[in-house]
Chain A
Amino acid sequence: MNRARSIIVCGLLLSAVAVPQTVRRTIDGKPDLNGIWQVLNTAAWDIQDHTGQLGVPPGQGVVEGNAIPYQPWAAAKKKENFVSRATADQAEANCFLPGVPRATYMPFPFEIVQTPKTIALVYEFAHALRTVPMDGSAHPDGLPDTWMGDSRGRWNGDTLVVDVNSFNDQTWFDHAGNFHSDALHVVERYTLANPDHISYEATVEDPKVFTRPWKMSMPLYRRIDKNAKLLEYECVFYQQEEKFKNAPFK
């Protein structure tokens, strides 16, 4: 980007994670996360270690310890999900909103729009969108269940912490059938490791499905391509064009 900026970086104070001093800061002194980011892993297919198959690239998992602490009934449900994933994974089958944190690691770029009072996360996949109030407000009471959750953000030193709840139970964590209930609670942490990499962590908690909280972590890579921008991946529309091309059916 051809921006004219002059930056004076002054001493970092107490921050939980050390951010290099080459990192650009915004007008309110926070690490500048603005830009387009994308993962380079295969978590979208399977967040755990997985061997390659036709159509599925192999990958080392993003789950710390590689174990997802399902309750016994849920471990069985995950296996059922895997078997029926071609139709049961609504993000892939229907192009529905992918939920959190899956939206982060879909194989599509997303954009962080950072201002002091509000941060927006704009995803190219299905034009998914999250707005993150940074005003210290609490999650509203009695919100309708949502696909992308209700997000509330704050800075912990130089780490952006986003607390997300009010989910429905319709999204999966990946195409392998890893799932959650409407009690899902996710805490994301975004830390600028250097100007072009964010260290991203998502702590997942769901007392209806898991025996304890667990964590995923992965780097986010800045899209430094010249004039990088999000385009449109309108798979709902593309699917309709295909499914209803001979409509009406009666």
Chain B
Amino acid sequence: MQKIFMFATASLLFAAMPIAAHHAFAAEFDVNQPVKVHGTVTKVEFVNPHAWIYVDVKEADGKVVNWHFELGPPNALFRLGWKKGAIPEGTEVDITGFRAKSGEPVANGRSITLPDGRELFSGGSGPGENKPGENKQ
């Protein structure tokens, strides 16, 4: 019979679960280049390994730049009840993150808020169920 050894394994499993362990975030995004943009969603791609949100952002000179924001793995979202099409084109968003080291208009999407202050992907399941500031973990 297999013995079960009572090791004091840190409950790593339930705490700092590394997401996207398949890539080195710190090597790709520049902590010295924080970004914060306001724009409208042109596309949401629920693709592995990362979902992406594409946002049209009007720069100071009036030019519109389509920013690419990388998010986490979408399979997690799907299992939590988020479905394809949950965020429609044209949705206005504020996004913060850190710019890619390559210098392109690419960044990670650290927080995504709607005009009314609700945070997208803030916990709970599916859109419309999130309340401002609520973070069900």
Could you tell me which A residues sit within 8 Å of B by CB distance?
A: 141-145, 168, 250
Contact = CB atoms under 8 A, between A and B. Distances in A.
A142 B78 contact: yes
B58 interface: no
Q: Is the interface of A mostly helix, strand, loop or mixed?
A: loop
Q: Is the interface of B mostly helix, strand, loop or mixed?
A: loop
B72 to A, nearest CB: 13
A141 B83 CA distance: 8
A143 B48 CA distance: 12
Nearest to B86: A142
Contacts of A143: 78, 83-84
A142 B85 contact: yes
Nearest to B78: A144
B75 interface: yes
22 contacts: A141-B83, A142-B78, A142-B83, A142-B84, A142-B85, A142-B86, A143-B78, A143-B83, A143-B84, A144-B46, A144-B47, A144-B48, A144-B51, A144-B74, A144-B75, A144-B78, A144-B84, A145-B46, A145-B47, A145-B84, A168-B47, A250-B102
A143 B83 CA distance: 6
The 4 closest A-B pairs by CB, nearest first: A142-B83, A144-B46, A142-B84, A144-B74
Contacts of B75: 144
Size range of the chain B interface in the assembly = 10 to 19
Interface string B36-52: 00000000001110010
Nearest to A249: B102
Contacts of A144: 46-48, 51, 74-75, 78, 84
A4 B85 CA distance: 52
A142 B83 CA distance: 5
A145 B51 CA distance: 11
Contacts of A142: 78, 83-86
Nearest to B48: A144
A82 B93 CA distance: 39
Interface in B66-97: 74-75, 78, 83-86
A85 to B, nearest CB: 22
A144 B78 CA distance: 8
A143 B82 CA distance: 9
A149 B78 CA distance: 15
Best-buried of A143, A144, A145, A168 by chain B (most CB within 10 Å): A144
